[in-house]
Amino acid sequence: MLRTDADIDNYWNYLTNLANNSGVEGAAPKFFDITEKAGLRKGMLVYEDVGGPLNAENKTIAGQDGVITENQDYVKLKKSTMTYGVNTNLSFSWRGISLLAQLSTSWGGVNKLDYLQQRTGSSQSMWAHPIYLNDMFDENDNTDGKYPNVAYYEAFKGTNSDFFLLPTFRMFVRNLSVGYTLPKEWVKKVSVENARLFVSGNNLWDFYNPYPNKYRNMYDATNVGYPTLRTWALGVNLGF
């Protein structure tokens, strides 16, 4: 992350030296759409130059050229994009007490930090940025901030970096129901054949939440209009 004027100077010199030594006539440093050092800003996330253009004919990648673009500098961040999941259904009963629960576990693929620039359209007005952005870099108010400044989201192309990768393992209780069947000798006194009391819940708990400050649940992205809620219900089943 660029935090100081020295960081900006060093990074632009790094790209300039690579361009000058690329052996390409007329090569010049470039960071996405930025072609001059003055376009770099403190709070931007910047990237290593790992290669040049792809040669589609012989399937080779040119060497470092001082140019950072979305279609070059190929780095495979994950070995696989496959996602795996298991739902575990648990049941238990003893002397009229019953418990039913479903646990969801998933892993694999790619999981990234939600990092969005606030939009101004009516459909985006309800976005609520996650709490971790309180630690966003600002050259005046938070020079030790951990996260890049979202004001420059478009300039460094958002989350194209392993900086934003999170663990992919998730485990949570999707739903749970606990009930108690009253003894028949109790309910027959009021002309009821059977009666069961229960409490049930949905979208309950994360056993492991990889998001900073646990700012989001297992279902929702940061730009949803209204989050999926945890719900509880009390109920009675009667049989006559």
**Bridge partner residues of 234 (DSSP):** 199
Q: How far apart are CA 211 and CA 224, in angstroms?
A: 16
pTM above 0.85, yes or no: no
pLDDT greater at residue 177 or residue 220: 177
Q: Does residue 180 contact residue 109 with C-beta atoms inside 8 Å?
A: no
Q: How far apart are CA 183 and CA 181, in angstroms?
A: 6
Q: For the segment 72-86, what is each residue's pLDDT rounded down to a tens digit?
A: 766 665 556 789 999
Q: For the segment 85-113, what is each residue's pLDDT rounded down to a tens digit?
A: 999 999 999 999 999 999 999 998 888 88
Q: For the segment 105-139, what is each residue's pLDDT rounded down to a tens digit?
A: 999 888 888 888 777 777 777 777 788 989 999 99
